[in-house]
Structure 1
Amino acid sequence: MSHSLNDFDSEAPEDFDSGHAEFARLRRECPVAHSEGLGGFWALTRYDDVRRAASDPATFITSVQNVVPKVAFTGRRPPLHLDPPEHTPYRRTLNPLLSPDRAAKFEPYARQCARDLLAPMIARGHGDVCGEFASFLPVQVFGEWMNVPDHWVGPLHQSGRAFILAVNLNQPEQMKATSLKLYEMARELLQLRKAEPLDPEKDITSALLASLERGEDMTEDLIVGMVRQVLVVGIVAPTVFMGSMAVHLSHHPDLQAQLRADRSLVPAAVEEFLRLYTPYRGFARTAKCPVEFGGRTIPEGEGIALVYASANRDEAVFENAEEFILNRANIADHMAFGRGPHNCPGVHLGRMQVRVMLDELLAMTTHFEIDGPVAPARWPEIGAISVPLKLVAA
């Protein structure tokens, strides 16, 4: 195993598959790896190491750096940017609004959005499944979930998409500018809910204000940060993940035909796609003391990427890990939504959206295939941010 400080180049040009190929190499040769790129960080690529770090918030904190590259230029945003117990009141307020039952209530709306977005693409026979479909639907669903004014949906999509592209292109100034725009929207929404509060059991901004009034250990500035976080965090992963599913199914028309013929298989297929194409390379932590993984010591205070996308392809845990296997026996062990106290609170809403997107794409077509260059996502995402498809109407 190499002990240089640049075990891999995190800024190297990539295509859709090369990031996963590099992680496979690192799992074999250098599972605890350091890159000098993107500000410098360590990467844990094996399942057991990622699970250990994600499950130990006392040692591996998120309040210093939560993603690679470090993009929080504009203030702390709960709950991801805070450690327990500081983050706990924010999660306690958020979790009930993202329960399985609550997420299910938005499925009919998500299906209608999916059909409306797909219809013009299918009518003309082509379209970008990321830019024209998967980046819009989460904004619409999250806008409905957050009760934002209807006229916000367009600007929110524009700002959220601009932020995602700035992160992928590693443009710090553009990241900061687009993040500040999202902060403006968060402050406006907070003021709106102060003036016109909604039922706290159905509205996250009203629920946060109610928790603050009850004396929960919160601040108004951090509530603004949390609203800012929620505005965009649910947009990124579904966009990239839908792109990855479209690429895979274009390359495997037999699987595409199987799922279209029996759409009851879609939920199981989505779980295996989540394992195989986990949309985040990994969230970051910082060790509060020197820590050892596999005979290598990571110094205190240095950024560590928990590479969920690599852990979910670890051959020691998932047999034939690079293959898509429907109804995989241990599929529940995947960590696509993280692990520990910072696991994704939107897991149920996110699952519902990507399941609906795939289901409706299959229902409204008889076939689709790649119809141009696929644009790969970069750190912290992995997958595709643009997938042009040729679409044959059902």
Structure 2
Amino acid sequence: MTDASTPQDFDPLSPETFGSALQDYARLRRDCPVAYSHTWGGFWALTRYDDVKRAASDAKTYITSKQNVVPKVAFTGRRPPLHLDPPEHTPYRRALNPLLSLERSEALEGKTRQLVSDLLAPMIAKGGGDICEEFSSHLPVKVFGAWMRMPDDLLSVLHEAGQAFIMAVRSGVPDAMKETSLRLYDMARELIARRKADPQDPEWDPTSALLAATYEGAPLPDEMILGTVRQVLVVGIVAPTVLVGSIAVHLSRDRDLQARLRADPSLMPAALEEFLRLYSPYRGFARTATCPVHLHGRTIPAGEPIALVYAAANRDETVFPNGDEFIMDRPNIAEHLAFGRGPHNCPGIHLGRMQVRIALEELLGQTKGFALAGQPVVANFPEIGAISVPLMFEA
């Protein structure tokens, strides 16, 4: 086991500004690609593309069932599929994946565009506002609610309950994390009870799909279905909030790109992929090695948490030349790791892409221009990026 005499290579609790952590990760990629921190009981961090991709893809050497996020946030039960390793996690992914297909996700485009317009309307009327607090923190909850087919009375409290849990995770206070997580469990229990009392079509309703799923001829365990619904309640609402905020900062600082995308919306899909690479909103998804791992002259002991710093890996200059720059139509852009890799890659990849693309299309289409009206506020581990971005819209 790593002891207190091991030097600390970086401090995840150091004060950050927008982009400062990415500069530090460039240092680690260059000088210390397998880095160690004593924070949160000690953990390792991988920052180079090849190392992160390999760890995310090798589910035998790097497991998620012991710890899947740095800092550790799972104090209230196992939540499939992220908390399970293959093949145990597979039936939960098999139940949910068809409902998150490209076709199903694109079927929500019209609803999403209306939600975007409704959220933007008050900001446009007053000439600006905080794009995260007033827009992107609400949009994924509403889109997710439409996909999840959540009753209105539950959806109305999900935003507050989900944000409370996210803020508790960022605070690093275990008691707050437990308390807010248990509230989400209560919501999951209520949703499951309603679906049992009034079954829905499992080909369209995620909770009903889990209740109808089987593994080796038997229904999925009730406690695992509960954990899955609890996990799904918040897993898709964090990343879009941070990603939209970070993109808004970038476009506020690059007015030429802003004007180019506004003039030619057909560029948006390619631009979005480059934004996903540049501003991957996660740096704390974790694995635990099942055996000692030897990388770049260092040994990670078995059983210790390892953060896969996707945000750093996606700027690795050996894979993405001039990795800190926005370059439209990168020839290898499909290789970015914003949605992870391997058996735990993000199942909501199509839903996430769709809602962020429409958010940007409408933000650009309904404004003549926008600029920063103050300094962005940035997220703490495990996310990275902007969580508060005041904007001023041009008349």
Question: If the TM-score is normalised by the length of the shorter chain, which range does it land in?
Answer: over 0.9
Please name the residue that 2:106 is paired with.
104
Instruction: Give yes or no for the alignment of 1:360 onto 2:340.
Output: no
Q: Secondary structure at the match of 2:273?
A: helix
CA RMSD of aligned residues (A): 1.3
Structure 2 residue runs of 5 or longer lacking an equivalent are none
Work out the CA distance in 2 between the residues paired with 1:306 and 1:355: 26
The worse-fitting range, judged by mean Cα deviation, of 168-177 and 121-130 is 168-177
Instruction: Give yes or no for the alignment of 1:340 onto 2:337.
Output: no
Work out the CA distance in 2 between the residues paired with 1:97 and 1:38: 36
Match of 2:173 among 171, 174, 184: 171
Q: Secondary structure at the match of 1:57?
A: coil
Identity of aligned residues (%): 66
Please name the residue that 1:51 is paired with.
53
Please name the residue that 1:208 is paired with.
210
Q: Is the contact made by 2:371 and 2:393 (CA closer than 8 Å) also made in structure 1?
A: yes
Please name the residue that 1:259 is paired with.
261
Amino acid at match of 2:43: F
Query: How far 1:214 sits from its partner (Å)?
Result: 8.3
Please name the residue that 1:38 is paired with.
40
Please name the residue that 2:387 is paired with.
385
Please name the residue that 1:148 is paired with.
150
Amino acid at match of 1:323: E
What TM-score, normalized to structure 2?
0.97
Deviations 1:246-294 (A, max 9, x none): 0000111111010001011111111000000001114100001101111
Work out the CA distance in 1 between the residues paired with 2:146 and 2:347: 17
Which structure 1 residue ranges, 4+ long, deviate > 3 Å from structure 2?
A: 212-217
- The number of residues matched between the two structures is 391
User: Measured at CA, do residues 149 and 294 of structure 1 come closer, stay the same or move farther in structure 2, by a change above 3 Å?
Assistant: same
Please name the residue that 2:27 is paired with.
25
Deviations 1:294-314 (A, max 9, x none): 121100100001111100000
Query: How far 1:328 sits from its partner (Å)?
Result: 0.9
Work out the CA distance in 1 between the residues paired with 2:218 and 2:377: 44
Work out the CA distance in 1 between the residues paired with 2:225 and 2:12: 33
Q: Is the contact made by 1:122 and 1:392 (CA closer than 8 Å) also made in structure 2?
A: no
Q: Is the contact made by 1:32 and 1:43 (CA closer than 8 Å) also made in structure 2?
A: yes
Alignment of 1:1-394 (within 5 A): 4-212=6-214, 215-216=217-218, 218-392=220-394
Deviations 1:143-170 (A, max 9, x none): 1111111122221000111111222222
Amino acid at match of 1:72: A
Query: How far 1:213 sits from its partner (Å)?
Result: 9.1
Deviations 1:93-146 (A, max 9, x none): 111010000000111101000000000011001211111111111111111111
Work out the CA distance in 1 between the residues paired with 2:228 and 2:284: 20
Work out the CA distance in 1 between the residues paired with 2:16 and 2:164: 21
Work out the CA distance in 1 between the residues paired with 2:345 and 2:323: 22
Query: How far 1:39 sits from its partner (Å)?
Result: 2.7
Work out the CA distance in 2 between the residues paired with 1:123 and 1:216: 55
Work out the CA distance in 2 between the residues paired with 1:391 and 1:206: 43
Deviations 1:155-200 (A, max 9, x none): 1000111111222222322221111111100000000000011000
Work out the CA distance in 2 between the residues paired with 1:351 and 1:61: 27
Q: Is the contact made by 2:136 and 2:241 (CA closer than 8 Å) also made in structure 1?
A: yes
What TM-score, normalized to structure 1?
0.97
User: Measured at CA, do residues 100 and 181 of structure 1 come closer, stay the same or move farther in structure 2, by a change above 3 Å?
Assistant: same
Q: Secondary structure at the match of 1:42?
A: strand
Q: Is the contact made by 2:211 and 2:220 (CA closer than 8 Å) also made in structure 1?
A: no
Amino acid at match of 2:372: I
